[in-house]
Amino acid sequence: MPLHLETPLIQSLPLGLAAGLPVWLKMEALQPPGSFKIRGVGAACEHHARACKRRFVSSSGGNAGMAVAYAGRKLSIPVSVYVPETTTERAKTLIRQEGAEVIVHGAAWDEANAQALASLDAESAFIHPFDDPLLWTGHATMIDEVANAGLAFDAVVLSVGGGGLFAGVAEGLKRNGLGDVPILAVETEGTASLAASVDARQLVALPAVSGIATSLGARQVSTHAFELSQTRPVESIVVSDADAAQACIRFLDDHRVLVEPACGAALAVAYAHADRLARFERVLMIVCGGATTTAERLQAWQEF
């Protein structure tokens, strides 16, 4: 059995009323480690386990790190997760809770990632947070599930950080004969690396990332994600931190599920930017999740 769950696919009347059209939700926030990441991470870890790797190494203080830790525990393979100094104590606690080793190194993800790569040996497998075809193929299973359920939709709304979810959904659409369905790729103002690349018509890196949607904080999307933005129907949307935060609060009220601002960015399109959906008839939104969110943080976001 795969390490991920088949998640609920539900129609959201509250988001539908806000958007003015039927909105369906793929509830990836309900995965055991708290996000969609376990689909691709689980597939990658199982692949490397079959290749007799004896240790998993990752470089993420967020959802990917938690997914690798979970997969390692389920497969009885030790895990080391390298995180930057900015990683929250809650995230480190959740990773350790799964039995993984947490190593803090560097001021930013790039430095933690370099240290993780330097630690590899012949018996170790590196699990990238977003830039690996194994991940994309695993993430694509969420679209397989939607297609198998028989839901017809004419757009997918999702959040973009490094581009792993984006690439996985694109692969899932293509292999289910839905390659022409537009993807609305949503970022916050302080993390809009895909939007910057789309505007420049070339892959560019942001000088820095900022804001509350820390899980979207890749200074540059993967090359594959950028190429997809140039070769298939993609619409880049940028929302404010306030939009993302308010979307999290409204979604908690509407669906009793707590998600992080990175997920709230996509939900904000229905709640605050319904005009971007006006030309569609039925929209699928990926509720990607986020395990480091707390009620205390939610209260702080209410100040936005």
At 1 the pLDDT is 83
Q: In this predicted model, which residue has the larger pLDDT, 124 or 207?
A: 124
pTM (predicted TM-score)? 0.95
Summarize the confidence of residues 215-237 as an average pLDDT. 93
**Is 302 a residue whose pLDDT tops 80?**
no
At 241 the pLDDT is 94
Long-range pairs, 116-119, Cβ under 8 A, ≥24: 116/57, 116/58, 116/59, 116/80, 116/82, 117/59, 119/57, 119/80, 119/82
**Is 61 a residue whose pLDDT tops 80?**
no
| pLDDT per position as a tens digit, 22-42 | 999 999 999 999 999 999 999
Q: For a pLDDT cut of 90, what percent of the chain falls above it? A: 84
At 213 the pLDDT is 83
Contact between residue 82 and residue 116 where contact means Cβ atoms under 8 Å apart = yes
Contact between residue 20 and residue 280 where contact means Cβ atoms under 8 Å apart = no
In which band, very low, low, confident or very high, does the pLDDT at 171 lie, cut at 50, 70 and 90? very high
Could you give the domains of the chain? Answer: 9-36+134-301 (3.40.50.1100), 37-130 (3.40.50.1100)
d(CA 220, CA 67): 22
Summarize the confidence of residues 212-233 as an average pLDDT. 91
Determine the straight-line distance between the first and last CA of the chain, rounded to whole angstroms: 43
**Is 283 a residue whose pLDDT tops 80?**
yes
Phi-psi domain of 146 (left: phi exceeds 0; alpha: psi -120 through 50; beta: other): alpha
In which band, very low, low, confident or very high, does the pLDDT at 304 lie, cut at 50, 70 and 90? low
Query: Positive or negative CA dihedral for 243, 247, 248, 250?
Result: positive
- Of 35, 61, 162, the closest CA to residue 116 belongs to 61
User: In one letter, which amino acid is 37?
Assistant: K
